Amino acid sequence: MSEINKVVLAYSGGLDTSVIVRWLQDTYGCEVVTFTADIGQGEEVEPARAKAKALGVKEIYVDDLREEYVRDFVYPMFRANTIYEGEYLLGTSIARPLIAKRLIEIANETGADAISHGATGKGNDQVRFELGAYALKPGIRVIAPWREWDLSSRESLMAYCEEHNIPVDFANDKKKSPYSMDANLLHISYEGGILEDPWAEAEEDMWRWSVSPEAAPDQSSYIELGYQCGDIIAIDGQAMSPAEVLTRLNEVGGANGIGRLDIVENRYVGMKSRGCYETPGGTIMLRAHRAMESLTLDREVAHLKDELMPRYANLIYNGYWWSPERKMLQTAIDESQAVVNGTVRLKLYKGNVAVVGRKSDDSLFDESIATFEDDAGAYNQADAEGFIKLNALRMRIAASKGRSLLAGD
């Protein structure tokens, strides 16, 4: 173990990672560098600096990554209309490649031999962090304490703190939510507690970002999103940065009871897991982006994107953001977005997002052809007869050869 002289730890300042700081120091006899990322989790990150100092850490990184997170990770993902297993908007998954990237950057800056994280051996995050790290720095050493130590519960962690004089607010920790939560600008997730019973309904006081649809205003809210190359650049005509856009959409979405989700998903490591998610801004973004594409994308391009999306979603969920295949898919997706420009108008009401208008200078909608009124010869309806017969030709031939599709024939 002596070959490990310095480790960069993804540090939240909470119980788990505070224990990991001391455990790394004692187990590996190494110097620990802490890295705390502000990706919009809604909590102060600066206190982590003081906690790290109290643990004897000399090199401390506390970085505001909110704009980079939304601009370089969330926005590219939403250009693909990405959802995992038909429901999950990948709020935790898409944050991990950014954290992995920054861990490696800091390792390079500080000359560290290894990186470390607080992900457990049961979850997806260990895979996401480590796949990203190995892709960006093949020779890096990864230390995952939950796969090495014999601490298995919050109680054992707190006992370790008392034994090793680790400064932790035990009173507040005992009041901690019964749920395992992860938050960033895109979402907040809840696991554990009563949620481990997939039949049990989530308690109303669990939710933090949204009101219930029943408690949402009785008056609908309207919002207009301006798009450029597939990304939202303005809300109600006001230009905003990516992080500002998502912050605003979270606020208006949460106020209207939008974005709650309760699912059982298939983890990459093999088990099923029940989780609840709040993704108000992301839910609005997905609906609006599809509306913008419906007006501007060629039919076959749109359909091809829909075919590729599940593969793209799996890559993100499973931790392959930094893979060559994800990069290849991203290039194709981004190429399609050059014409995804314009404005979408939405109505938000009690948990629902309804598209009520869309317009674009790049629109492929031709009213003179689509109209049910007199089209002045823009479309010759007689052409449809040959089109239908040609498309039916293979089926007509098969039927004439006795290959009936009727049961019993």
For 119-151, the pLDDT digits (tens) are: 999 899 999 999 999 999 999 999 999 999 988
Residue 1: pLDDT band with limits 50, 70, 90: very low
Catalytic residue list contains 96: yes
Identify whether 125 is a catalytic site residue.
yes
User: Which residue's structure tokens are 């995952």?
Assistant: 144
Q: Averaged over 310-315, what is the pLDDT?
A: 98
| pLDDT at residue 169 is higher than 80 | no
pLDDT at 166: 87
pLDDT for position 231: 98
pLDDT at 165 (0 to 100): 85
The one catalytic residue in 12, 93, 102, 125 is: 125
Catalytic residue among 96, 248, 287, 326: 96
Q: Is 403 annotated in the active site?
A: no
Tell me if 320 sits within 8 A of 212, measured CB to CB. no
What pLDDT does 367 receive?
A: 87
pTM here is: 0.94
Instruction: Assess whether pLDDT exceeds 60 at residue 170.
Output: no
Distances (CA, A) of 50 to 16, 57, 163, 407: 16, 10, 21, 75
Check 180, 221, 294, 360 and give the catalytic one: 180
Mean pLDDT to the nearest integer, 376-399: 92
pLDDT of residue 135: 98
| pLDDT score of 407 more than 80 | no
Does 258 have pLDDT greater than 60?
yes
Q: If you average pLDDT over residues 104-123, what whole number do you get?
A: 95
Q: What structural domains and CATH numbers belong to the chain?
A: 6-69+91-176 (3.40.50.620), 183-297+340-359 (3.90.1260.10), 371-400 (no CATH)
| Confidence category of residue 175, pLDDT binned at 50, 70, 90 | low
Residues 6+ apart with CB under 8 A from 28: 1, 4, 7, 143
pLDDT confidence of residue 96 = 97
Find all residues with CB under 8 Å of 173, minimum gap 6, and list them: 15, 154, 158
Residue 358 a catalytic site member: no
* Phi-psi domain of 259 (left: phi exceeds 0; alpha: psi -120 through 50; beta: other): left
**CA dist., res. 96 & res. 251, Å (int):** 24
Identify the band that residue 172 occupies on the pLDDT scale cut at 50, 70 and 90.
low
User: What average pLDDT does this structure show over 95-116?
Assistant: 98
Indicate whether 388 pLDDT > 90: yes
Confidence of residue 63 (pLDDT cuts 50, 70, 90): very high
Q: With 90 as the cut, is the pLDDT of residue 176 above it?
A: no
Percent of the chain with pLDDT over 90: 82
pLDDT for 174 beyond 70: no
Q: Which of 16, 38, 113, 231 is catalytic?
A: 16
The pLDDT assigned to 200 comes to 97
CA 27 from chain center: how many Å? 34
- Average pLDDT score, the chain: 94
Gap between the Cα atoms of 16 and 21, Å rounded:
9
Q: In this predicted structure, what is the pLDDT of residue 171?
A: 46
